[in-house]
Structures are given as structure tokens and as C-alpha cells.
Chains A and B, each alone.
Chain A
Amino acid sequence: MVVQIPEMDFGWIVPEIAMTVFAAVALLLTLFRKKNSTWLFVEAMPLVGAIVALYFTFQTWNGNIDIFNNLYTIDNFGVFFKGLSLVILILVTLLSYRYIDREDMARGEYYSLLMFGTLGMMIMVSSNNFITIFIGLEVMSISIYILAGLMGGNAKSVEASLKYFLLGAFATAFLLYGIALIYGTTGMLDIREIAGYVNSGNFMVTPTFMAGLALLIVGFGFKTASVPFHMWTPDVYEGAPTSITAYMATGVKAAAFAAFLRVLFTAFHPFLSGWTYMLWILAVATMTLGNITALKQDDVKRMLAYSSIAHAGYILIALTVGDRTLSSTVLYYLLVYSFMTIGAFAVVIILGRQGSPNTGIESYAGLAGRHPVIAAVMAVFLFSMAGIPPLAGFMGKFYVLTDAIRGGYYWLAIIGVLNSVVAAYYYLRVVMYMYFKEPEAEIGAPDVSIGSTLAIAISVVVVFYLGIFPRLFLMIAHTSSAIFM
């Protein structure tokens, strides 16, 4: 038996190869860099790599092909999320430039791990096989564990890294156990094969299978920071370097939701009635707990961490409804959410100083008087998160709640609306501090750089664009999620 690997297959994974090569080159450049010479080439790697990978990713749009013995899949759903993770990589890199310098982190490793993390996301969102999904998820997670601890001298950063690693390893075990139980009952690892087998009629739902499904939900629930698997989120988001927090809150969450959505809507869609109530409880708990705990936070970074938990709850509403034709909502919401979250964290970064992050809410007092532009963009991001029209966050919430009503989940829609009202309080509280409070202490000039300005500018434009003209990207999201139909 001779196994042949078709050479054609490699043409489809050029974006992944590009990411790997650029990450490795960034490492090597760091190794052979002369002392006191420029960091420019190392710093350019993630940007150039992401742009090259983006170009080749868009070439595979409408590709729809299974490669490497069905272990890897090129489809529009994967292309959408690959594109999203690469755009997130670009934004995070832009706002890292000044920040890395300021906090004195290991640059070469930082950028190459960012790229390896993105590679992991790209792999986990475009596979229909549990093995590839799992390995992609691990590449992503391990890169993030390390990135969270890169602020070596900072005890909080080390704590964040260790906490995320230990709990993450635990969640990985749950996920793996779930996959093992499903493999044990069906004998298959390909989620489309499982779907076909389940629909074929000679399949019997066993408790073992359902236990496997439940464990899978636990594993993915951890990665998406859903209540009750959210315990790590506030501490890790607070302790990690802020640029990495932005990366975790957007990239990791988007990739985890993408894999979650693919697994649930492909393999387990026939058991909709089996998991929909589990997700119902998760969605309600995630929204409510995230929002209510955020009310009490006086630290903006921590508040944004709870807010990101709450946003995961809104996305879970769309998953709970379980309507395959409406899954584009999840994609749209994640797109919107990524831009507004990165924007808000970028503002948090530029207000900080070396050694004093200035994330307390009192640092924001009177910001509008001193730096009207920064206060205005922060207000845009916060209003968008609160879901105030015409910003993108409103459209995201609008589609999610419409889904819930179309699917007949009226209570879920009501709880969602009530939660948005609660959330408005803590977002507007920061705005109130910025515009109507007198500053208590001088925090100095903001640490603005070209990179962070660019990242914030892109985010603001996108937040307005997606809020006022949602149609184009909604259509793209719809085409991407057509794989489930």
C-alpha cells in the first residue's frame, strides 16, 4: 500500500504556509540580528505575512474542496474566518508596536507567536475533522498561553499565563474526552461522516454519545469564555499584556465560535433538541452574569473582560436558535464585535504608561477636556458595544434578537433585551466619566503612535460602516455560512 499525497493540495494551503514561513523568518531574523540594529524587519513580518496570506486566502474563495484525505477543507466558511483572524492579526500587530517597546517584551518571539497563533486559528476554522480541529486549537492555545506571560517582570502577567495554561489544559482534556466518546460511539472523526451516519437511520442515541456532546460543549464553552466556564477570563484578560488581551478577546473567541458552530451545525444538527436547551441555559447565564458583574468593575480592562463574556452570551443566542439559514448572524456579530473590542483595547493601551497601565476608571475622568479625539473614539466603541444605532453593535444585536424571535425563543429575546439595558449602564458610566467628571489626577500625555492611530482609525471606520451599510458584509456572511444548508 503506497500512500500518495497529491501535489495539488499544497496550492490550497498557501496562506497557512505563508504564515508559518513568515513566523519562522521573524524568529531567525531575531536570532541573527546585530545589537543596536533596527527591529524594522522583524516588526514588518506579521504585517507582510498577514497581507500575503490574506491575498491568497481570498484567492480560495468559492474553492470548496477537501484536501489531504478530507482532513482539511477549503470552503467559504473557513475563508471568512481565516480572513477575520488575519485582519485581527494586522490590527493587533499595529497596536503592539509602541506597546511592546514600552513594556520591553521579547519582540521576535512575540511577533512569531502571534503569527503561529493565527496559524492555529486558520487551521481550526477550516477543517471538518476532529483531529485537525483539535491540533489547530492547540497550536492557537499554546501560543496564547505563552504570549499572556511575556511581560516577564510582571507578577500579574505570569499569573495570567499560568492560570490560563492550567485551566486551558483542563478544558482541553474535556474537549478531547468528548471527541473520544463520540469516536467511541460512531467510529468516525469526520463531522460530515458523523452527520451522514446519524441521519442514516441505523444509529441509536446512547448516553455515551450525549455525554461526548456535553463534554464538547464544555470544552468549547471554555475557549469562548461562556458562563460557567468563564472563571479564568477576568484575571487572564486583566493580567495579560493589553495587546494580547485584545487578541484573546477577538481572535481566540472568533476561532472557537467558528469551530463550535461548524461542529454543532454539521455533526450534531439532528440532535438540535438535545443541545438547544443546554445552550439556552449557557446563553442566559453568560449574558446575565457577564453584564451584572461588569456593573461593579472599576477597572476598565476588567470591565471589558466581563463585557466580552456578555457578548459571548449574545452570540450563544444565535447558536441556541440552531437555524442553519440564520447562522450568518454569528459571523456578522463576530466581525462587528472584533473591531469594536480591538478599538476599545487600543484606547486602553494608549492611555497607559510604562509601569502604570492607568486602567482604573478614574483615569478616564475629564478625558474629553484634555484629549477630545481619544474620548470621542472611545465613546464610539462603547456606544457600539452598548448597541446604540447607527453603530455596528446595534446591527449585530438586532440580527441576533431577530433570530431568536424568528425561532420562537421569545424568552431568550426578552432576556437579551433586558441584558442590553443593563449593559448600557456600565458602558455609559465610562462615557460619563470622560465627559462630565473633573480629572482627579494628571495622568500625562497619551502614548499615541502611528500604529495605534491606524488601528483605531480602521476600527472606527469599520464600526460606522458596518452599522450604516450592513448589507454587503451580511451577504458575505450569508454566502460563507451557506455550507450548512
Chain B
Amino acid sequence: MGAIGFKFVVFIVAALLVIVSSLLMTTRKNPIHSALWMIVTFFAMAVIYLLLNAQFIAVAQIMVYAGAIMMLILFVIMMVSLDNGAQEQKRFPMAMGTRLSWALVVVVLLVELMFAALFYQATAKVGSYPAEAVASLGNAKTMGMLLYGKYIFPFEIASILLLVGIIGAVVLSRKNK
């Protein structure tokens, strides 16, 4: 048991938490409960990012997702205020057989993917920023250098993407004259 063992234990706990809370999130009837479980998922994900030495993403995850986006979701739920009648009705009117067969397909695909990931040695090339380099340079600095240096072109286009999104939000929510 050294640092590696400790990391492993933390990872197992965080991973289990992610799985359980995301399952709970999708199965809750009350949308507020779902939203709360989603926050738990986000926090557990942030822990996994930390273990991967990606502090910047971990902080962004908590600030942006667990903070800002979650607030928006809660606002929407409260404003729309689902009446109980709407919640009662079955949202997916499917026969049990259909449901089971879909579930089977999903499980088979997931298991395949898991085995593929576990039993085949990836032959990938190592990137220019392995964990050691990141540790010495600092996470935010590395991110910034990539974003404003190498990836400046897609970064600029992403700003146009945001502009288009804003135009869309305004024009679609505006009342008709």
C-alpha cells in the first residue's frame, strides 16, 4: 500500500459513486431528486479527473457543471413546475419484451466495449503532455498554451459557435410580433 494503493481505493470509491448516482439520477420520479443526484455524479467525476492529474478540468467541472449548469436546470424545473398528473403517466409505453431486448442490446454493447478496452493493449502514441510534464508546467498553463497556441483556429471557430447559439436562443424565445 503506497500512494498507488491509495489512489486505487479512491478511484474505486469515486467510480462506484458515479455509477450508483447516475443510475439513481435516471430512475428518480421527482426531477429535483434527479438533479441532486446529478450533482453527486459531477462531484465524483471531478475526483476522477483529479486522480488523472487534470486539476483544471476538475475545477471547471465543479464550477461550470455542478455550479452554473445545475442552477439553470433547477430554475427550469421550478419554472415549468410539472404537475403531478404529467409525472404519473408512463413516459415510454413499451412492452416488457421490447424493453428487455433493448436492455440486452445495451448491456451486450457495453460489455463488448469493456472487454475490448481491458484485453487489448492500446498501441497509442504518447502525447506531448504526459502527466509528468503537466505536473512540472502546471495544468492551467498547459491548457492555455494549447488553447491559444496550437488550437487557436478551432478555438476561434468555437466562439462563432457560441455566437450562433446566442442568436438562436434570442430568436427562438422572442415573442412573435
Interface residues of chain A, those whose CB is within 8 Å of chain B, are: 1, 3, 5, 20, 27, 67-69, 71-72, 106, 109, 112-113, 116, 119, 123, 129, 131-132, 135-136, 138-139, 142-143, 145-146, 149-150, 152-153, 161, 184-188, 197, 202-204, 206-208, 211
Contacts and interface: CB of A to CB of B under 8 A. Distances in A.
A146 B122 contact: no
A27 B167 contact: yes
A112 B157 contact: no
A132 B154 contact: yes
Given A3-B149, A204-B121, A207-B115, 9 more contacts: A69-B153, A71-B153, A109-B171, A129-B154, A135-B158, A138-B161, A142-B161, A149-B172, A187-B126
Closest 5 CB pairs of A and B: A3-B149, A187-B124, A207-B116, A146-B168, A68-B153
A208 B153 CA distance: 29
Interface in B120-168: 120-127, 145, 148-154, 157-158, 160-161, 163-165, 167-168
Interface residues of B, number: 35
A76 B3 CA distance: 54
B117 A208 contact: yes
A131 B124 contact: no
Contact of A113 (B120, B123, B150, B164): B164
A368 B153 CA distance: 53
7 contacts: A135-B154, A139-B157, A146-B164, A188-B125, A208-B122, A211-B113, A211-B116
B120 A142 contact: no
B176 interface: yes
B161 A184 contact: no
Nearest to B127: A187
A3 B153 contact: no
Interface in B88-128: 112-113, 115-117, 120-127
A131 B167 contact: no
Given A136-B157, A146-B164, A202 B171 contact: no
Contacts of A187: 124-127
Contacts of B145: 1, 3
A332 to B, nearest CB: 29
Given A142-B165, A208-B122, A71 B154 contact: yes
Nearest to A5: B152
A131 B122 contact: no
Nearest to B175: A152
B2 to A, nearest CB: 28
Contacts of B125: 186-188, 197
B82 to A, nearest CB: 18
B113 to A, nearest CB: 6
B124 A139 contact: no
A294 to B, nearest CB: 28
Contacts of B112: 207, 211
Contacts of A188: 125
Nearest to A146: B168
